Structure 1
Amino acid sequence: MSEIKSFEKYRKYETTFAGRPLVVETGKTCELSNGSCWVRYGETVVMANVTASVKPREGVDFFPLSVDYEEKLYSVGRIPGSFTKREGKPTDKAILTSRMVDRPIRPLFPKDMRNDVSVVMTVMAVDPDCSPEIAGMLATSIAISISDIPWAGPIAGVSVGLVDGEIVLNPTLEQRGKNHLNLTVAGTMEKIVMIEAGADEVDDDTMLNAIKQGHAEIKRMVEFINGIKSEIGKPKFEFESMEVDHDLFDAIEEMVSEQVKEALDTDDKNVREARLQPIKDAVHERFDPEYPDGAAMIDECIYKLQKKIVRNWLYEGKRVDGRSLDQIRPLAAEVSLLPRVHGSGLFTRGQTQVLSVVTLGPVSDSQKLDGLDEETEKRYIHHYNFP
């Protein structure tokens, strides 16, 4: 006879968030992940799972973090509209939410860590008055905090609105309909680490007050997460540091610092790259015999040297291409480049160009949407293609 499984590690924590109940559950699902939790905010439910590789990824000079926000149409009681009736690829909004969560958590991981880390947020139920995006950010912070993955968090995030002249935290669906400020703030106990905003005209004092009120609620939630972490958080694992060799960096800086400054001092990207290439070749010729397996580290040292030089220039009020801090690149605009299309235009800023083409169509051409929002079609469709 089979035994009934018990969940001895199950824990439940409750608080309020912007005046609405918030419940955190952990220890019942996804036991093989490094950290996992469910966040119930009102009747919104988001599960977050975080997993890390045991060994660092070879041959990369960046921290390999992936963040995925997965919307499930069952969370709003809707069947997918595709022929197969299966959940499809992420919507644009889901991708933007993934990035919104990525931005505040990424800088808090060790800069010299190269272990793969995967964060997956799954929206399981949606209460229109309680943002699943904000719930997902909280769930991610909790999952990483209680895991054994090294991280300098926790963080928390809050949505701030301006309704009838009053600042509102995590506005409801009705309030969002007459909102003049759509501000998302994320931060730690000490500081703000991410701001994303869209708004009607809002004066500086109102915006600053909105950020401060948001941070006050963030600090309260961070304190709540720290309480969970202190009770069930795992010890952080030791990782193999991929920090660059400081002696190597100092030697490269001494060898080519002045040459790199001269190479960078131009407003033409092609000229800059052409100037840098022989410098890179000379550095490799000098240090490859001493560091036979360190080609990637040598390249990273050269890149860090460029960053250091540019940063010092900015402190002096100078930019790479010689412009002052308040000077924009030369601009040009041209319309009606293409015949027969409904509209076209070319905008140029320095060496960056955008070609825009517009097409008008009947209402029947509107895009049908499979998302969590109440909106089911989109009549203004804007596609961005980067060659």
Structure 2
Amino acid sequence: MEKTFELSLAGRTLKVTIGKVAEQANGACLVQYGDTVVLATATASKEPREGIDFFPLSVDYEEKLYSVGKIPGGFIKREGRPSEKAILTSRLIDRPLRPLFPDGYRNDVQVITTVLSVDQDHSPDIVAMIGSSIALSISDIPFNGPTGSVLVGLIDDKFIINPNSEEREKSDIHLVVAGTKDAIMMVEAGANEIPEYKMLEGILTAHAEIKKICEFIEGIANEVGKAKAEFSVFKPDEEVAEKVVEFGREKLIKAINTVEKQERLENIDKVSKEIKEVFLEEYPDSENDINEAIETMLKEEVRRLILEEGIRPDNRKAEEIRPITSEVGLLPRAHGSGLFTRGQTQVLTIATLGAISDAQVIDGIGEEESKRYMHHYNFPPYSVGDVRPLRGPGRREIGHGALAERALEPVIPSEDEFPYTIRLVSEVLSSNGSSSQASVCGSTLALLDAGVPIKAPVAGIAMGLIKESDKVVILSDIQGMEDHLGDMDFKVAGTRKGITAIQMDIKIAGIDKPILEEALEKARKGRLFILDKMAETISTPREELSPYAPIMYTMNVNPDKIRDIIGPGGKMINKIIDETDVKIDIMDDSGKIFITATTSEGGQKAMEMINSIVKEVEVGDIYLGKVTRITNFGAFLEILNGKEGLLHISNIARERINKVEDVLSVGDEVLVKVMEIDNQGRINLSRKVLLPEEPKKED
């Protein structure tokens, strides 16, 4: 039976339709907000997947170009692999949902959101996040939700919930928050150097709206939701678990307290193998029970040591940051490079400068059509001592790359200030936690080394949380084990002035204001410490670009002259490019021209050629004209890149001539002066006035 529910959200109606479409999914809904319409579905397998120790959840955000009235480009003319934006939105949906499934639930769950119609004033990603929560809440899939999600903007120091397109353009923050009615689960933000207290205020403002959304979804689930299915959870045999703990606890603690990561992992692996060798003889059919018992013991001991004894795996204090070193100018031919090392996490970032036309073209359902600043993050297997096939970037790499890109975006100079396309590539050479934030630091170093006039250096730090009942410890600069076994991964990047990017993921039922407040303050102190360390290596942009970087020249011409510069079929612009070896980008609407040259001589020659094309002929100017055709009344001369003037037979010489051919031939070059431009734009020339006067004959 079809049912419709409505909620007033930020002064606009959110409409949810249940029972109309996708009836074979465990849960499905159509969500409409303005003219944005998203179909959200949730489906689960009937049986748990055997032999795994993780929850197999997959989330897909499907962009359909028909939603914005577009036909896909290329030969195939259908949607292919998901765009970067679609992958990032899939992650946004996944992150607040994943912690709310029951521990030990191993059934495959698939959430698919399909964007059917897009109104740019109503963000489809927020609608998809809300729709996913509804689909799970009304289904029989075990889920401890619901969650709500909102986008928050900040204009003139006022927060706006779900800002429209124009407001998003003006906003100082782009803050996405998701949570339950009791706690915040996920934060993703980009900001223009916003202070910590303002960011916290924005998060709490969002949570007030999230509570309303959660109550709305609970009402829907109570009315049309299915009873939750029963499921079995794997638990290790208690007898086996007790014996494993008794035998291996002290050995595991000793292994955990190894400072160096690889040595620590080797020691833990040795203890695990020893435990298995001992107990597999006694319990040959209980390998899964033994493995689960070891993993549980490892997690409990790491957390206990931090909470009760204040001991982190590498013996640091809670607020202590690992040793930091940095270096720039490592690669002689790269336009800029920076190597940032923090503990055993090491990232090399390379900056490349290109022409304006090198900007990335975006063909999606959003408003963004291109971007001239890009950051790409690579995480090769050797960075963690693994062996695996090299493939294209996965969701994690794309997510980390986008986070670092967002962190630097507020300090990137405008196109008018620095007319280059900028690409940063961060190569993770070694990883033990916080590699995404190390790539933020490496990016700053590389940009400064490349001579890019960024507004301020940016650094990033990852904060962690260990929480048991009322005991809470916030950790600065978390490493891999603390991230894996902890309750929070809270990445904060920014300048000395304020925050430029945040990404927070919670693995427990959520955190409250005091924890957020403390984490933000400790992140600020850590960020300032890291910025000081980086400043010891380089603190301002280099005064000159790399000799291997392209040289950029900018010109402004009358837009009406653009067609003359291009010429028929591109003949003129191609001639300039061939003769000067430059790349030319023209902005038709504004008349701005960007010339990208490998040498200053080529760039200056191209500018001279363009100036000669756009220059207006004026009375009194003198030109070296070339005869293009001859008539019985005079000759036509090309005087300025395609502009012709008439040299009348009476103005060819001081003496009278009977035929033009007596003096001139096609192809001759002669000096002429512009005598008149009539009201029809016709140019009259004279050669005669430039010839020396004949001396007068003496009587």
Q: Which of structures 1 and 2 has the larger relative contact order (alpha carbons within 8 angstroms, sep 6+)?
A: 1
Counterpart contact for 2:41–2:113, Cα < 8 Å: yes
Rounded to whole Å, the distance in 2 between the matches of 1:159 and 1:294 is 48
Rounded to whole Å, the distance in 2 between the matches of 1:385 and 1:182 is 25
Shift of 1:69: 1.0
Rounded to whole Å, the distance in 2 between the matches of 1:219 and 1:289 is 53
Counterpart contact for 1:44–1:131, Cα < 8 Å: yes
Which of 58, 61, 66 does residue 50 from structure 2 map onto? 58
Rounded to whole Å, the distance in 2 between the matches of 1:244 and 1:129 is 51
Q: Kindly indicate whether residue 189 of structure 2 is the aligned counterpart of residue 192 of structure 1.
A: no
SS of 1:236's partner is: coil
Distance change in 2, residues 1:247/1:182 (3 Å): farther
Aligned to 2:261: 269
Counterpart contact for 1:161–1:183, Cα < 8 Å: yes
Q: Kindly indicate whether residue 27 of structure 2 is the aligned counterpart of residue 46 of structure 1.
A: no
Q: Which has the larger radius of gyration?
A: 2
Aligned to 1:382: 375
Amino acid at match of 1:249: A
Task: Give the superposed CA RMSD.
Answer: 1.6
Counterpart contact for 1:335–1:346, Cα < 8 Å: yes
Shift of 1:314: 2.0
Shifted more, 136-145 versus 305-314: the winner is 305-314
Which of 164, 171, 178 does residue 163 from structure 2 map onto? 171
Aligned to 1:71: 63
TM-score normalised by L of structure 1: 0.93
SS of 2:354's partner is: coil
Q: Kindly indicate whether residue 145 of structure 2 is the aligned counterpart of residue 153 of structure 1.
A: yes
Provide Cα deviations, 1:287-341, integer angstroms capped at 9, x if missing partner.
Answer: 2244434323422321221211111122133211001111111112222222323
Amino acid at match of 2:292: E
Rounded to whole Å, the distance in 2 between the matches of 1:351 and 1:177 is 39
Rounded to whole Å, the distance in 1 between the matches of 2:176 and 2:35 is 21
Provide Cα deviations, 1:208-236, integer angstroms capped at 9, x if missing partner.
Answer: 33222222211111111111111111111
Rounded to whole Å, the distance in 1 between the matches of 2:194 and 2:349 is 30
SS of 1:117's partner is: strand
Distance change in 2, residues 1:357/1:207 (3 Å): closer
Q: Kindly indicate whether residue 284 of structure 2 is the aligned counterpart of residue 280 of structure 1.
A: no
Rounded to whole Å, the distance in 1 between the matches of 2:151 and 2:160 is 8
Provide Cα deviations, 1:343-382, integer angstroms capped at 9, x if missing partner.
Answer: 2232211111112222222222222111122221222222
Distance change in 2, residues 1:355/1:242 (3 Å): same
Which of 206, 221, 229 does residue 213 from structure 2 map onto? 221
Provide Cα deviations, 1:128-176, integer angstroms capped at 9, x if missing partner.
Answer: 1111111111100110011010111111111112111111111111111
Rounded to whole Å, the distance in 1 between the matches of 2:284 and 2:259 is 35
Rounded to whole Å, the distance in 2 between the matches of 1:293 and 1:160 is 54
Distance change in 2, residues 1:76/1:209 (3 Å): same
Which of 329, 351, 354 does residue 336 from structure 1 map onto? 329
Shifted more, 369-378 versus 144-153: the winner is 369-378
Structure 1, unmatched stretches of 5+, are 1-8
Shift of 1:177: 1.1
Shift of 1:254: 1.6
Distance change in 2, residues 1:300/1:374 (3 Å): same
Q: Kindly indicate whether residue 357 of structure 2 is the aligned counterpart of residue 364 of structure 1.
A: yes
Amino acid at match of 1:57: R
Counterpart contact for 1:288–1:295, Cα < 8 Å: yes
Aligned to 1:33: 25
Rounded to whole Å, the distance in 2 between the matches of 1:313 and 1:93 is 40
Which of 84, 107, 110 does residue 99 from structure 2 map onto? 107
Amino acid at match of 2:218: N
Amino acid at match of 1:334: E
Shifted more, 343-352 versus 215-224: the winner is 343-352
Amino acid at match of 1:86: R
Provide Cα deviations, 1:112-135, integer angstroms capped at 9, x if missing partner.
Answer: 110000001111111111111111
Identity of aligned residues (%): 53
SS of 1:201's partner is: strand
Counterpart contact for 1:61–1:296, Cα < 8 Å: no
Counterpart contact for 2:34–2:119, Cα < 8 Å: yes
Counterpart contact for 2:240–2:289, Cα < 8 Å: no
Counterparts of 1:297-376 in structure 2, within 5 Å, are: 297-315=289-307, 316-376=309-369
Rounded to whole Å, the distance in 2 between the matches of 1:349 and 1:43 is 48
Rounded to whole Å, the distance in 2 between the matches of 1:86 and 1:309 is 52
Shift of 1:246: 4.0
TM-score normalised by L of structure 2: 0.53
Aligned to 2:9: 17
Amino acid at match of 1:135: V
Distance change in 2, residues 1:197/1:250 (3 Å): farther
Rounded to whole Å, the distance in 2 between the matches of 1:223 and 1:194 is 18
SS of 2:230's partner is: coil
Distance change in 2, residues 1:360/1:278 (3 Å): same
Rounded to whole Å, the distance in 2 between the matches of 1:204 and 1:383 is 27
Aligned to 1:6: none
Q: How many positions carry a matched residue from both structures?
A: 379
Rounded to whole Å, the distance in 2 between the matches of 1:294 and 1:41 is 52
